[in-house]
Amino acid sequence: MTTGTRRPVAVRWHRALAGTDEARLAAVPAPLATPPVHRKPADAASAALGAAFGALPEDVRATAPLYVLCQDYGTWAARRFVARCHDSARRLRPSDSVGLETSELVRPYLTASHHRGDCYLLGRLPASDAEFTPPLTAARPAAVVLDLIVFPGEDPRDADCLALATTWKASGL
């Protein structure tokens, strides 16, 4: 016997995009306002997160969870670190090992915005072509998912990225 209680369903509500490569941003076929171009991946992530969290109602904005899909960035950061280790002309610095941490991409935004919600760094989805849908409940009616898409260049220490932030809300509440 069922009680008739429906669980909320997560639906995409708003998307924000930023990146470090103007040509790739211009090629995105999404109906978005002109996305901002930034020099650093962390700045692109902050811009996308600011727009996505800014679309949330004020009562859930500061506590909505953030899910960061970071497999591409984590793989690139590890390759970049290895290249720096093998570069005999360059001395390793503490910032090189910190650069491995995907959390450093979202920390500037989360700190500046005084975000108090949970942040989850997700390395790999169960199926490579699966889209991640955040779990929403009546207590957590909204979430933001940040997908970091990396485009490595010829130099393994340099890459362009797109930061796509999607705001999800619960329907059926």
- Cβ(72)–Cβ(148) below 8 Å: yes
6 domain-assigned: no
Q: Which domain, by its residues, includes 167? A: 15-28+36-171
Token pair recorded at residue 155:
């130099």
134 domain-assigned: yes
Phi, psi of 61 (to 5 degrees): -55, -50
1 domain-assigned: no
What is the number of other CB atoms lying within 10 angstroms of the CB of residue 80?
Answer: 19
pTM (two decimals): 0.79
DSSP secondary structure string for all residues of 94-111:
HHHHHTT-THHHHHHHHH
9 domain-assigned: no
pLDDT in tens, the chain (173 residues): 444 455 666 676 778 888 878 777 777 765 556 677 888 888 889 999 999 999 998 889 999 999 998 887 777 777 777 777 787 887 877 777 666 678 888 999 999 999 999 999 887 666 666 678 888 888 889 999 998 888 877 766 667 888 889 998 887 54
10 domain-assigned: no
22 domain-assigned: yes
Which stretches of the chain are assigned E, i.e. beta strand? 9-19, 66-69, 119-122, 142-152, 159-171
55 domain-assigned: yes
